[in-house]
Amino acid sequence: MNDLLSVFIIAALVTAITTPLAIRLAPLIGAMDVPGDNRRVHGKPIPRLGGVAIYLGIMVSFYRLLPWSEQIFGIVLGGTFLLAIGIYDDIKSLNPRAKLAGQILCALVIFFFSVQIRGMTNLLPVGPHYLIFPTWLSLIVTVFWVVGITNTVNLIDGLDGLAAGIVCIACLSVAYTSAMSGRLGTAYIILAVAGATLGFLLFNFYPAKIFMGDG
């Protein structure tokens, strides 16, 4: 239990420390969110490199407290590729098709390293309690989930505290459920994300000093 708390605290502290650095770096490289559509309610350009600080918080907590495994390596590798694509998009406005292709490739990397959705609880009153997916269906569901969650968070990142707040609350709920069911490995990973987003929220609440950005 102490290790679970440590993962959360380390991720939060590292993100809180590195977010001001991201705020200073963003205008230097052109990673700014300029108002221009209905999703954006701020009246001036806002830095968009918050994802970098969140990434660093998660990675440091992984390095310090989690034993490296095939799955952890896959998450780190796929997450790093997603971060690179997002940063490039924040600066250069990547073509939507190229961006989607890159996200799918990252999801395939994660799947290749055995981070897979392999089944689901049967919600129908008939049949087995748990449905196991064949490999081809597991691949489709995993890729759809990774790409879908990535773009959903990007979509709601235009309001102060919204995206990070939702992610933090959702991760805390999933981490609690995972820990109570004995899935401590999952709880560690999810708590790292929750801690990092909480550290980021210190600078993302109204009036936001920085957004996550596509990274």
pLDDT per residue as tens digits for the range 22-45? 999 999 998 887 776 555 555 678
What is residue 43's predicted lDDT score, i.e. its pLDDT?
61
Nearest residue to 204 (alpha-carbon basis) of 163, 153, 155: 163
Residues 9 and 61: their CA atoms lie apart, in Å, by 9
Q: Please answer whether residues 90 and 213 qualify as being in contact, where contact means their C-beta atoms are separated by less than 8 angstroms.
A: yes
Distance of CA 121 to the CA centre of its chain: 24
Tokens of 9: 């605290």
Say what the pLDDT of residue 76 is.
92
pLDDT at residue 190, rounded to an integer? 94
Share of the chain above pLDDT 70, in %: 95
> Furthest-apart CA pair in the chain: how many Å?
59
Which string of DSSP letters, residue by residue, matches 131-142? EEPPHHHHHHHH
195-213: pLDDT as tens digits = 999 999 999 988 889 999 8
pTM for this model (two decimals): 0.89
- The pLDDT assigned to 64 comes to 76
What does the domain layout of the chain look like in residue ranges? Answer: 2-29+46-116+129-204
pLDDT tens digit string along 108-133? 999 999 899 998 887 777 778 888 89
SS (H, E, C) 29-87: HCCEECCCCCCCCCCCCEECCHHHHHHHHHHHHHHHHCCCCHHHHHHHHHHHHHHHHHH
pLDDT one-digit tens code per residue, 136-183:
999 999 999 999 999 999 888 777 888 999 999 999 999 999 999 888
Contacts of 140 (CB under 8 A, 6+ apart): none
